[in-house]
Chain A
Amino acid sequence: MSKYAVAIHQLGFRYAGSAGDCFQQLNLEVGVGERFGLFGPNGAGKTTLMNCMTGLLSFKEGTIELLGQPINQNRKATNQLFGFVPQDFSFYHELTPVENLAFFGAWSGMRKTEIKKRTTELLEILDLSAVRNKQVQKFSGGMKRKLNLAIGVIHQPKILFLDEPTVGVDVQTRKAIISYLKELNSNGTTLIYTSHQLNEAEELCDKIALIDNGRIIAHNALDKLLLEYREIGLEGLFIQLTGKKYTDL
């Protein structure tokens, strides 16, 4: 078994019709069991890199391996390894949480009895049991965020990709989500997380990478990076390494 949850080697990627490369010979490794945070200014390449890692974008140069398996060779097998929690609400608003979990569970390759058991468990943990049979369109933003997370982890993936998993929620919901993510990690799930909420990132991540203009400009344990750059927080480190200028204009 590979010691890396994700191993990226010499990745090159360019959007069709685009003049420049998004990435050139990009290398990155995320160890099994890490709580890894990927940060950078808008347009730095975080989402593109996340999409390459989850197979949503196909690339021609370099390799990406998930737990030692190249993602572009046997998609069915590699897709089984990870869960994905996109920033957008990625479920059917016309359905109830139970119905959503049943559908996404089936698509994740789970059996009916397994889905039923896991659904009860997840709704209990995320405090959604009381609304299990209510249509999601009537839910608050926080409840939708929790369901978004539940669907991403229903099949108990070994790696969990999270894109802004707590955006737009209140403090209580945010704390509940972060607490659950830590619990997942303590049970062996590798977290790969991206967000603009740096306080939250400091609380969750033990290792980070900063990306700017498609290049990894820093990658290490958070405390080591803070020490190296003589900063007391992630926000200061972020500004020091990526500058104060707007980059997405």
Chain B
Amino acid sequence: MYKLRATILKDLLILTRDKIGLLSMFVMPIVLAVVITALQNSTFELVNDNKVPLLLCNKDTGEASRQLVTAIEKVGIFNVKQLIAGKSEKEISERMHKKDALIAIIIPNNFSAEMVLKAKDISGKALTEFGMQADTTGPVAQPMEPVTLLYHPVLQESFRQSIKGALRSTIQLVESKQVLKSLYFSINEKQLPEQLENDILNNQTGILEIPISRDGSRKIPNATQHNIPAWTIFAMFFIVISLGSSIVKEKLNGSFVRLKTLPTNYLVALLSKQLTYLLVTLIQAALIFAIGIWLFPLMGLPGLNLPQDIAGLFLVTLICGWCAVSFAICIGVFAQTQEQANGIGAVSIVLLAAIGGLLVPSFAMPDSFKTIIKLSPLHWCLEAFYGLFLEGGKLKDILINILPLFAITAFLQLAAFAGLKRKHLV
């Protein structure tokens, strides 16, 4: 026991005297968590709270285009800047290149007239279907000239699709209104009463959004709740840089030769490193959680809500930390040089984070990745943390994530032991 205590003390002293190592283990993950959360939060606010600048050029003077403009303004996510009708597509593009707006809509000049014709055509077909006489006088409807949506290439595909969806809804609304008016006029030979128009078109059934949770709470998850667990796991696994290279350094320098000639098994050194760095991972997690709870609100970011099952959170953090330490030891045992340990360690963590759903949500990954995801320990750590932080679950609810994590940890420990045995180090 005294040997183990002396070794832990030695490891702690070396660790605390390595200023760069401390920086990479504590400061960098904190900066990462703050920056990513702030960025994701601002994107979240951009979509939900702030309005997206939109240039609107209405080349038409009719009622339908005015209705469309009003409907676009009512969507609520756009800050509409109307341009004079004579602006060309090129002039609009130039303003977009200056980042006045990332999207622009051009309503063609015959929009209203074509819309009326289209509505008359549809209502005529409907009347014929009802067995009634339709008015077939006047010009025949032709395919409408489309509404143009200009977008800046930096706009992400998902964001563009949601804007396109919103625009499609507003056009649909205007079209429906025109068809309804035309149909009403054909039957009653008088204008559609405003009250009835409102009752039919503006009386949509609402959507109630409820996040499902195991504890019955209805807190809406925010960017902090998503990011803090993810980047805490990332920080824990990034100790591979410090721990992996520390093992290689010890193997390569003279002290290791001397250790092998002393009457103590090298497993004591490995156990000491495991305990020391497990403590480091727990401190990392406590620090990042504390920053999420207390510092984020002061920075204008949403605060972190800890799960109800604090004991479960501690246990999950402990297991994630142990898995991270086991991974780092494995890298340290098999790497021949510090450069190998640092390079392989860092790249493998980024890869495991990517396939584990830390960088891209796992539900958005292609089917071919579904099996590979399960090989990443970071995936199981994230699922366990999300089970507590987002779903409000308890330890028993996330056992299904903890068991694979145990299996991966056991495999890493056995692999490290086999590596040491092969090199006659234990």
Point out residues on A near B: beta carbons under 8 Å: 54-56, 58, 75-77, 79-80, 82, 84, 86, 88-92, 94-95, 99, 102-109, 111-112, 135, 151-152
**A106 touching B2, Cβ below 8 Å:** yes
**A106 touching B6, Cβ below 8 Å:** yes
Q: How far is the CA of A58 from the CA of B253 in the complex (A)?
A: 20
* A59 CB, min distance to chain B CBs, angstroms: 12
Knowing A90-B258, A99-B13, say if A75 contacts B263 (CB, 8 Å): yes
Best-surrounded residue of B258, B259, B260, B263 (most CB of chain A within 10 A): B258
**A102 touching B258, Cβ below 8 Å:** no
The residue from A75, A82, A90 contacting B255, defined by CB atoms under 8 A apart:
A90
Q: Quick check: is B210 within 8 A (CB to CB) of the other chain?
A: no
Q: Scoring B residues 250 to 285 as 1 if CB is less than 8 Å from chain A, else 0, what string do you get?
A: 000111011111111000100000000000000000
* A-contacting residues, B409-426, CB 8 Å: 424
**B255 touching A92, Cβ below 8 Å:** yes
Q: Report, nearest first, the 8 A-B pairs whose CB atoms are least far apart.
A: A88-B254, A90-B254, A106-B6, A90-B258, A79-B263, A103-B10, A107-B262, A107-B264
Q: Quick check: is B7 within 8 A (CB to CB) of the other chain?
A: yes
Chain A residues with Cβ below 8 Å from B254 are 86, 88-91
Q: Quick check: is B99 within 8 A (CB to CB) of the other chain?
A: no
Chain A residues with Cβ below 8 Å from B261 are 54-56, 79, 82, 84
Q: Scoring B residues 3 to 15 as 1 if CB is less than 8 Å from chain A, else 0, what string do you get?
A: 1011101100110
Q: 24 interchain pairs (CB within 8 A)?
A: A55-B261, A58-B424, A76-B263, A77-B263, A80-B263, A82-B261, A84-B258, A88-B257, A90-B253, A95-B10, A95-B13, A102-B9, A103-B7, A104-B258, A105-B6, A106-B2, A106-B5, A107-B7, A107-B264, A107-B268, A108-B262, A108-B263, A109-B263, A135-B17
Q: How far is the CA of A94 from the CA of B10 in the complex (A)?
A: 10
**B257 touching A94, Cβ below 8 Å:** no
**B258 touching A94, Cβ below 8 Å:** no
A78 to B, closest residue via Cβ: B263
Q: Tally chain B residues at the interface, Cβ within 8 Å.
A: 24
Q: Quick check: is B215 within 8 A (CB to CB) of the other chain?
A: no
Number of A-B contacts (CB under 8 A): 80
Knowing A94-B13, A112-B2, say if A107 contacts B259 (CB, 8 Å): yes
Chain A residues with Cβ below 8 Å from B135 are none
Which DSSP category, helix, strand, loop or mixed, fits chain B's interface?
helix
The residue from B3, B9, B13, B257 contacting A107, defined by CB atoms under 8 A apart:
B3
**B263 touching A86, Cβ below 8 Å:** no
Q: How far is the CA of A76 from the CA of B3 in the complex (A)?
A: 14
Knowing A88-B257, A111-B2, say if A104 contacts B13 (CB, 8 Å): no
Q: How far is the CA of A106 from the CA of B258 in the complex (A)?
A: 13
Chain B residues with Cβ below 8 Å from A91 are 254-255, 258
**B264 touching A109, Cβ below 8 Å:** yes
Q: Quick check: is B18 within 8 A (CB to CB) of the other chain?
A: yes
**A56 touching B257, Cβ below 8 Å:** yes
**A151 touching B10, Cβ below 8 Å:** no
* A163 CB, min distance to chain B CBs, angstroms: 10
Q: How far is the CA of A79 from the CA of B263 in the complex (A)?
A: 5
A163 to B, closest residue via Cβ: B257
**A95 touching B262, Cβ below 8 Å:** no
A83 to B, closest residue via Cβ: B261
Q: How far is the CA of A99 from the CA of B3 in the complex (A)?
A: 13
* A206 CB, min distance to chain B CBs, angstroms: 25
The residue from B18, B262, B268 contacting A79, defined by CB atoms under 8 A apart:
B262
**B263 touching A94, Cβ below 8 Å:** no
The residue from A55, A82, A94, A112 contacting B18, defined by CB atoms under 8 A apart:
A94
Chain A residues with Cβ below 8 Å from B262 are 79, 104, 107-108
Q: How far is the CA of A68 from the CA of B264 in the complex (A)?
A: 21
* B304 CB, min distance to chain A CBs, angstroms: 35
Chain A residues with Cβ below 8 Å from B13 are 94-95, 99
Q: How far is the CA of A58 from the CA of B261 in the complex (A)?
A: 12
Q: How far is the CA of A82 from the CA of B262 in the complex (A)?
A: 9
16 new A-B contacts, CB < 8 A, other than A56-B261, A75-B263, are A56-B257, A79-B263, A86-B254, A90-B253, A90-B255, A90-B257, A91-B255, A99-B10, A102-B6, A103-B6, A103-B9, A103-B10, A104-B258, A105-B6, A107-B264, A111-B2
Best-surrounded residue of B7, B18, B254 (most CB of chain A within 10 A): B254
Q: How far is the CA of A86 from the CA of B259 in the complex (A)?
A: 11
* A-contacting residues, B1-48, CB 8 Å: 2-3, 5-7, 9-10, 13-14, 17-18
Chain B residues with Cβ below 8 Å from A99 are 9-10, 13
Chain A residues with Cβ below 8 Å from B264 are 107-109
Chain B residues with Cβ below 8 Å from A112 are 2
* B295 CB, min distance to chain A CBs, angstroms: 31
Q: How far is the CA of A104 from the CA of B224 in the complex (A)?
A: 46
A151 to B, closest residue via Cβ: B258
Q: How far is the CA of A90 from the CA of B260 in the complex (A)?
A: 11
Chain A residues with Cβ below 8 Å from B268 are 107
* A202 CB, min distance to chain B CBs, angstroms: 27
Chain B residues with Cβ below 8 Å from A151 are 258
* A98 CB, min distance to chain B CBs, angstroms: 11
Q: How far is the CA of A151 from the CA of B262 in the complex (A)?
A: 11
The residue from B9, B18, B260, B263 contacting A56, defined by CB atoms under 8 A apart:
B260
B252 to A, closest residue via Cβ: A88
* A16 CB, min distance to chain B CBs, angstroms: 11
Chain B residues with Cβ below 8 Å from A56 are 257, 260-261
**A107 touching B6, Cβ below 8 Å:** yes
Q: How far is the CA of A121 from the CA of B7 in the complex (A)?
A: 23
Q: How far is the CA of A153 from the CA of B143 in the complex (A)?
A: 97
The residue from A82, A86, A109 contacting B257, defined by CB atoms under 8 A apart:
A86
